[in-house]
Amino acid sequence: MQGVSTEKIQGGKLLRVKVDFGDKINRVQITGDFFAHPEDVIEKIEVSLGGLDLGVREQEMQNKIDGVIVKTGADLVGIDAAAIARNVIRALGENR
Protein backbone atom coordinates (compact mmCIF):
# COMPACT_ATOMS: atom_id res chain seq x y z
CA MET A 1 0.00 0.00 0.00
CA GLN A 2 1.06 3.59 -0.41
CA GLY A 3 0.22 6.72 1.53
CA VAL A 4 1.07 10.34 0.87
CA SER A 5 1.10 13.38 3.13
CA THR A 6 1.82 16.94 2.06
CA GLU A 7 2.35 19.91 4.36
CA LYS A 8 3.46 23.46 3.83
CA ILE A 9 5.55 24.00 6.94
CA GLN A 10 4.66 27.23 8.75
CA GLY A 11 7.45 29.68 7.98
CA GLY A 12 9.22 26.96 6.02
CA LYS A 13 8.90 24.94 2.87
CA LEU A 14 6.65 22.37 1.25
CA LEU A 15 7.21 18.79 2.39
CA ARG A 16 5.70 15.73 0.71
CA VAL A 17 6.21 12.27 2.16
CA LYS A 18 5.30 9.09 0.29
CA VAL A 19 5.32 5.84 2.21
CA ASP A 20 5.16 2.30 0.79
CA PHE A 21 4.15 -0.15 3.46
CA GLY A 22 2.88 -3.63 4.18
CA ASP A 23 3.29 -5.11 7.63
CA LYS A 24 6.13 -2.65 8.10
CA ILE A 25 7.31 0.56 6.43
CA ASN A 26 8.99 -0.59 3.24
CA ARG A 27 10.11 2.67 1.69
CA VAL A 28 9.86 6.37 2.43
CA GLN A 29 10.39 9.10 -0.14
CA ILE A 30 10.82 12.69 1.04
CA THR A 31 10.36 15.42 -1.57
CA GLY A 32 9.66 19.13 -1.59
CA ASP A 33 11.14 22.58 -2.10
CA PHE A 34 13.25 22.57 1.05
CA PHE A 35 17.05 22.70 1.36
CA ALA A 36 19.41 20.25 3.02
CA HIS A 37 23.18 20.40 3.31
CA PRO A 38 24.72 17.98 2.63
CA GLU A 39 21.96 16.77 0.35
CA ASP A 40 22.49 13.05 0.90
CA VAL A 41 21.14 13.37 4.44
CA ILE A 42 17.65 13.03 2.97
CA GLU A 43 18.45 9.64 1.43
CA LYS A 44 19.99 8.56 4.72
CA ILE A 45 16.81 9.55 6.58
CA GLU A 46 14.71 7.65 4.03
CA VAL A 47 16.80 4.52 4.51
CA SER A 48 16.69 4.83 8.30
CA LEU A 49 12.89 4.72 8.29
CA GLY A 50 12.65 1.55 6.20
CA GLY A 51 11.67 -1.50 8.26
CA LEU A 52 9.99 0.42 11.09
CA ASP A 53 6.78 -1.01 12.53
CA LEU A 54 3.60 0.74 11.45
CA GLY A 55 2.84 1.41 15.10
CA VAL A 56 6.07 3.30 15.72
CA ARG A 57 5.60 6.35 17.95
CA GLU A 58 6.01 9.73 16.30
CA GLN A 59 8.52 10.87 18.92
CA GLU A 60 10.59 7.71 18.43
CA MET A 61 10.67 8.33 14.69
CA GLN A 62 11.62 11.97 15.20
CA ASN A 63 14.48 10.90 17.47
CA LYS A 64 15.70 8.50 14.81
CA ILE A 65 15.63 11.24 12.17
CA ASP A 66 17.38 13.68 14.50
CA GLY A 67 20.04 11.05 15.06
CA VAL A 68 20.73 10.82 11.33
CA ILE A 69 20.87 14.60 11.02
CA VAL A 70 23.34 14.92 13.90
CA LYS A 71 25.48 12.03 12.68
CA THR A 72 25.64 13.54 9.18
CA GLY A 73 26.28 17.03 10.53
CA ALA A 74 23.50 18.21 8.25
CA ASP A 75 21.55 21.43 8.17
CA LEU A 76 17.92 21.25 7.08
CA VAL A 77 16.33 24.50 5.95
CA GLY A 78 12.54 24.78 5.67
CA ILE A 79 11.73 21.41 7.23
CA ASP A 80 12.83 19.53 10.33
CA ALA A 81 12.79 16.09 11.89
CA ALA A 82 9.45 16.69 13.60
CA ALA A 83 7.80 17.63 10.31
CA ILE A 84 9.13 14.54 8.55
CA ALA A 85 7.98 12.24 11.36
CA ARG A 86 4.58 13.92 11.53
CA ASN A 87 4.00 13.45 7.82
CA VAL A 88 5.16 9.82 7.77
CA ILE A 89 2.57 9.13 10.47
CA ARG A 90 -0.07 11.02 8.49
CA ALA A 91 0.83 9.10 5.32
CA LEU A 92 0.26 5.84 7.17
CA GLY A 93 -3.16 7.16 8.19
CA GLU A 94 -5.49 4.61 9.73
CA ASN A 95 -3.26 1.72 8.72
CA ARG A 96 -1.27 2.08 11.92
Partner 1 sequence: MKWRVIPLQTGDAFTNMAVDEAVCEAVAAGKSPPTVRFYTWKPSAVSIGYFQNLNDEVDVNVAKELSVDIVRRRTGGGAVYHDAKGEITYSVIAPESGMPSGIRESYQMICGWITGSLKNLGIESEFKPINDIIAGGKKISGNAQTRRNGVLLQHGTLLYDLDVRTMFTLLKVPREKISDKMIQSVEERVTKVLNFGNFSVQDVYDSVLKGFTDGKDYEMGCLSEEEVYRAKELAEERYKTDEWNYRR
Q: Which is nearer to partner 1, 6 or 48 (CB)?
A: 6
- State in angstroms the smallest separation of the CB of 55 from partner 1: 27
- State in angstroms the smallest separation of the CB of 33 from partner 1: 4
Three-state DSSP class for 69?
helix
Q: Which is nearer to partner 1, 35 or 60 (CB)?
A: 35
- State in angstroms the smallest separation of the CB of 78 from partner 1: 6
Where in the chain does DSSP place strands (E)? 2-8, 14-21, 25-32, 35-37, 75-77
